[in-house]
Structures are given as structure tokens and as C-alpha cells.
Amino acid sequence: MIGLRLGIMIFTTILTLGQMIFMIGGYKKSFGIMLAGRVVFGLGGESMSVAQSAIVSKWFKGKELAMALGLNISISRLGSVVNGIVIPQIYNNENTGRLGLALLVGFFVCVFSELCAIFLIMLDKRADTVDRTESSKILSESDKFRFSDIKTFNKSFWGLCASCVIVYMAIFPFIQVASDMLQKRFGFTEQEAGGLFGIPYTISAATSPFLGIVIDRFGRRGLLIILSTVILLIAHTINMFFTNCAPGEHCYKEIGPLALVGIGYSLYGAAIWGSIPYVVQPRTVGTAFGFCTAIQNAGMAVAPTIVGSIIDATANDGTSGYFWASAFWVCVCIVGIGLNIWLYFEDIKNNGGQLNKVHRGDTIQDLITSPPDERRRLEIKNDADMDP
């Protein structure tokens, strides 16, 4: 409704403001202020992520889309890796060790992000001038978001949303507790664990663009979504049966499950987000990304609490509670595999197999106006009649 350019600027500003409040809370050692900062940061950060995905989908079409989204994920994960390495060193340094100073680094990163947003807006505006388009401006009344648009989302889209919730519950909560697990079970120091827990992010950062190129060339998004969940299941099953290291030892065997989670995460992220534009109508792509992100984050709000409760309740089981946490992730992956197999066949049956196709059209509109399913043709025809 407000346009992509203005949206990105507003959301990035909110994100930066949230980090500033978080930083102030760190200097004052106030948990309440820090919590408020994280709330504001979340409002900006997730909304900015939606706007980023929408603008990438606008700039890159067909055979370019998965690669572009993969590169976007890659840079984001690279930031997570750097954060895991740098912040603990600043916080634990005997000369500079202060929480506020560590969070100040994050604030400067957010300021840099704001400058990048301004540069992106300038590029997008110039592109509209050169191409003589008006696509980044506020939409016409017929194209603006309406709650009735939700009715146009098919089962494949809702299946993708459900898959996001389930599968990411087996990825991010695991990475969030990996540092603590590396210290308690495998004998690493806090700083060593800070470097190792970022292995999944490092793998994702290194492989996502290349996976995007492969997907753009060969398609098979539906199959890769299933394969990625199987890899995650193997990782958590292996991790579940690992024993703790003897006191004073460093056990590097945990690198295996961390690497497998990174591979599964990379495959899944490259396939899932590039699938959304191909199962919805072009004018609802931004809304679709928003719904999927919101539903995913609802799961992310619940999953860490569940995992934390499991670890706390079973902390004396000889694995510091991580056997039962891994059992939870194994169950999540089994559900995810079942859901993704259903999504694969649902897409073939009612969406023309869009997830597995190689899309070489110039626009997403070209791709979705010719599936074999007659019901889908009628949906598009009706939409065209309303918005010539």
C-alpha cells in the first residue's frame, strides 16, 4: 500500500531505532529497556525482510530469481557468522569488556544497513526512470492489498507456509542453543563455541547463491524441499545419540551434525523462498511473503520456549538435556517430511507442478497464466477481468 521504496526506508529506520534502544539498555544494564529494544527491532527487521524479498522478486524474474534470493540469504547468514565470532570477543575482552560496547557494534551495522537502503532506493528509482515504469510507486486502487486477496492463495501456498513453520523449528532453535551445547557437552570455551556454532550459517552463506543458480537451471524445488528435511532428520538423529566429552577434552564430532544442519538449511532456504512467487498471483507477492514470514515467526516464537523447557526439565539426564531436545527436533523433521511430500503432490495435482518446473519466462505473469489446471486458468482470467 505504501510502496516498496518507502516501506524499506521505514522498516530499516525502525530496525535501527530498535538496536539503539537495545544498546542503551546494555549500557544501563536494564533488562526492561533491552527487551523493549528487541520488540522494536523485531517489528522493523522482519518487515524489512518481507520488503527485501518483494523487491528482489520485482527485480529478478524466472531463471534469475532463486539465485538472487539465495545471495540475499547468503549475505544475511554471513552477518550471523561474524556476529557469533566478534561479539563474544568484545564482551569478554578484559580491556573493553562491556555489554553496551558489544551492542554498539550492532548499532553501527544497522546504520550501515540504513545507508544501503538509501542506495537501494536510489537504484530502484533510477531503474523506474530508465524503464519508464511506475511499479515502485503506490499501487492503484485495484492493485492495493485487500483481505479478500487471501482467498486467492491456494493450497500450495499454505503448504509452503506450514512447511516454513515446521522445518525452521528444526533449524533456528538448534543453532540458538548450539553454543551452550558445545560448551556443556563437548568441552569448548565460550569464544570457541561462538566460532563453531556459526558453521550452519557459514555453509549457508557459501552455498546459497550457487544453489540458487542450480535451482534456476534445473528446477526441482519440491524435491529439494523434501531432501533438505531428510538431511536435517539425519543430523538430529546423529546428534541425539552422541555422548558427552570427558572433562578437559574437546570433542569435534559435533561438527558433523552442525555441517549437516547447514547443508539442509541451505537447500531448504534456497528452494522454499524462491517457490512463493510461483504459487500466487503477481500483485499479491508482497502479501504472500508477509504472510509466510509472519507464520514462520509465530513458530519461532514458540519453538525456543519448547526447546528451553525440554532442556531445563531433563538437564540431569547425562546429556545436559540435549538428548530429549534432539528427540523433539527428530519428531519435527518427521512431521516436516510428511508435510513436504504432501506439498509435492499437491503442487503437481492442483498447481501445474510449478515448484519443480524450470522457469525461463521473462515475468512471473508469463509463468502462472498457462498451467494445465483449468481451475487455475479461471482464477487468472477472473483476476484479469477485474484488473485489465
Give residue 125's pLDDT: 81
Give the Cα separation of 61 and 74 in Å (integer).
19
Give the Cα separation of 18 and 52 in Å (integer).
19
Task: Yes or no: say if 107 and 352 are a contact pair by the CB < 8 Å rule.
Answer: no
Task: Yes or no: say if 66 and 216 are a contact pair by the CB < 8 Å rule.
Answer: yes
Residue 330 grid cell? 527428530
143's CB contacts (< 8 A; 6+ apart) are: 283, 387
C-alpha distances in angstroms, 170 versus 33, 75, 176, 229, 300? Answer: 30, 22, 11, 9, 10
Torsion of the alpha carbons at 260, 262, 265 and 269, rounded to the nearest 10: -140
Nearest to 280 by CA among 149, 378, 372, 142: 149
70's CB contacts (< 8 A; 6+ apart) are: 208, 209, 210, 211, 212, 213, 215, 269, 270, 274
Nearest to 354 by CA among 163, 263, 221: 221
User: How many percent of the chain have pLDDT more than 70?
Assistant: 84
Helices and strands, counts by H and E, the chain: 14, 0
* pLDDT tens figures, 179-237: 888 888 888 877 778 778 778 888 887 887 788 778 777 778 889 999 999 999 999 99
- pLDDT tops 80 at residue 41: yes
The helix (H) or strand (E) run that includes residue 157 is: helix 155-168
Report phi then psi at 382, rounded to 5: -65, -40
Q: Decide: helix, strand or coil at residue 363.
A: coil
pTM greater than the 0.85 cutoff? no
Topology of the domain comprising 4-130+151-386? Growth Hormone; Chain: A; (1.20.1250)
Give the Cα separation of 254 and 245 in Å (integer).
10
Give the Cα separation of 299 and 235 in Å (integer).
21
Give the Cα separation of 165 and 272 in Å (integer).
12
Residue 54, class by beta-carbon neighbours within 10 Å (0-12 exposed, 13-18 middle, 19+ buried)?
buried
Among the ranges given (109-113, 130-134, 140-144, 323-327), the one the predictor scored with the smallest mean pLDDT: 140-144
Give the Cα separation of 384 and 388 in Å (integer).
5
Give the Cα separation of 314 and 332 in Å (integer).
19
Average pLDDT over every residue of 269-294? 81
- pLDDT tops 50 at residue 161: yes
Give the Cα separation of 47 and 117 in Å (integer).
14
- The residue length of the chain stands at 388
Give residue 62's pLDDT: 61
Give the Cα separation of 293 and 282 in Å (integer).
18
- pLDDT tops 60 at residue 373: no
Q: What mean pLDDT, rounded, does the chain reach?
A: 79
- pLDDT tops 80 at residue 382: no
Q: Whose grid coordinates read 553496551? A: 100
- Position with higher pLDDT, 245 vs 343: 343
Give residue 360's pLDDT band: very low, low, confident or very high (50, 70, 90).
low
- Position with higher pLDDT, 136 vs 327: 327
| Amino acid letter, residue 229 | T
